Amino acid sequence: MATQQPYGVYGYRFQDPPELPIYQLFATGYQEVTEQDYYWDGMKRIDGPLYLFQYTVSGFGHFRLGEQTHEIHAGTAFLAEIPGDHHYCLPRASDHWSFYFVLFRQQHLHALWNELLQAVGVTPAFEPSSAVVRTLQSLYAEARSNRIRSSYQASSLIYGFLMELLQSSTAQQKEKANWPQPIKQSAAFMEAEFHRLQSLDDVAGAAGLSKYYFTRMFTQTTGISPMDYVTKLRIEKAVRLLRSSSLSVEEIAYAVGYASGSYFSKVFRSRVGFPPADFRLAKELPSIDRLQFD
């Protein structure tokens, strides 16, 4: 018996309640094209307005946006707005182009789409094992298996995919292995000394940089400011002490680096949502042993 090909394209036209902010899935597919007449002109399509994400698995294609043409090789994607001044095609130099794609209506997605373009760019690259690609493949698998039966399911899948795409823009910068050496040094210093740090000058000194240059470099690398990083470390430690020790709130404040229990309580409440004493007693809230802060 012949092996079934994995390729296919699946479209959706759900009737959504217009008052609900539902993300509308238009189509998703996995295709391999080999004919040179494969060509889409973004100004001539009549199925818009749509947003398109297309990720290359093998071979390559061309994507022209405005005056610039990009070769979209394996591991690279492109984002396009339909209608728009672009085209994508199989060039003569490529014998095939296989790719996953997803199309969705623009309704309710303008702000998020613009944020994505700023975060990942027009032609981002993703490893095949990345969360973005796995989520895209999962969305296609749901469609291929005929498990997308309502606009609510479709909207949830689109939202999950877009969140992975947006998160990917900060994932690399937040990986410590990719941080510049001065930032690694300063982070290690903060993790060891957060409970007795007096000023940002101490941290910048550990990195061997001026305070202003260090602050800009640390924020660009990690996504948060140095003092926010220190606060994160202090609150995470405070959570553990509140749950596992008999120290008073005042004693915990001093142990994690705050000069007074009242200021510690103010910062803790702003980050966690509850005063430290209530958090310890789990009063009217679930018992939590560890909190993760971004």
CA 46 vs CA 8, 84, 86: distances in Å: 21, 11, 14
Task: Note the CATH architecture for domain 8-174.
Answer: Sandwich (2.60)
Specify the pLDDT at position 11: 93
pTM, full prediction: 0.64
pLDDT tens profile 224-264: 788 888 998 999 899 889 888 889 999 999 999 999 999 99
- Inform me whether the pLDDT recorded for 5 exceeds 90: no
Cβ count near 127 (within 10 Å)? 9
Range list for CATH 1.10.10.60 in the chain: 178-281
- Inform me whether the pLDDT recorded for 284 exceeds 50: no
Distance CA 218, CA 220 (A): 6
78-100: average pLDDT: 95
Range list for CATH 2.60.120.280 in the chain: 8-174
Q: Which residues contact 155 (CB under 8 A, 6 or more apart)?
A: 22, 23, 24, 25
Q: Give per-residue burial for 215-241: e unless 16+ CB within 10 Å, then b.
A: bebbeebbebebebbbbbbbbbbbbeb
- Topology given in CATH for the domain delimited by 178-281: Arc Repressor Mutant, subunit A (1.10.10)
- Inform me whether the pLDDT recorded for 124 exceeds 90: no
